[in-house]
Amino acid sequence: MALPGECVNASHTVCIECGTELPLKVYSSAAGYYIGFFCSNCGPYSRESSYFGNREEAESALSRGLFGR
């Protein structure tokens, strides 16, 4: 379920806390690489994909639009 104002699987969204426009990108965490949104002011915003084993797989999924939760 999306939060109010959240654009799940869109190419960009706006942070509801500070209004910063957030691009959809590949990020990494202890669990692996994922596609999502991150606000440089407020921190992690949302994860739009499952986790990938490496950055190349995540970048490929993002460029082809083949990802989902």
Could you list the pLDDT tens digit for every one of the 69 residues in the chain?
Answer: 345 445 555 677 999 999 999 999 999 999 999 999 999 999 999 999 999 999 999 999 999 999 987
| Exposure b/e, 31-50, CB count within 10 A at least 16 = b | eebbbbbbbeeeeebbbbbe
Report if residue 4 sits inside a domain: no
Domain housing 37 = 12-64
Residue 16 lies in a domain: yes
In a domain, residue 34? The reply is yes
Number of domains forming the structure of the chain: 1
Q: Does 17 reside within a domain?
A: yes
Q: Is 1 part of a structural domain of the chain?
A: no
Return the DSSP state at 45: E
Q: Which of 32, 29, 36 is nearest to 62 (CA)?
A: 36
Amino acid at 12: H
pTM exceeds 0.75, yes or no:
yes
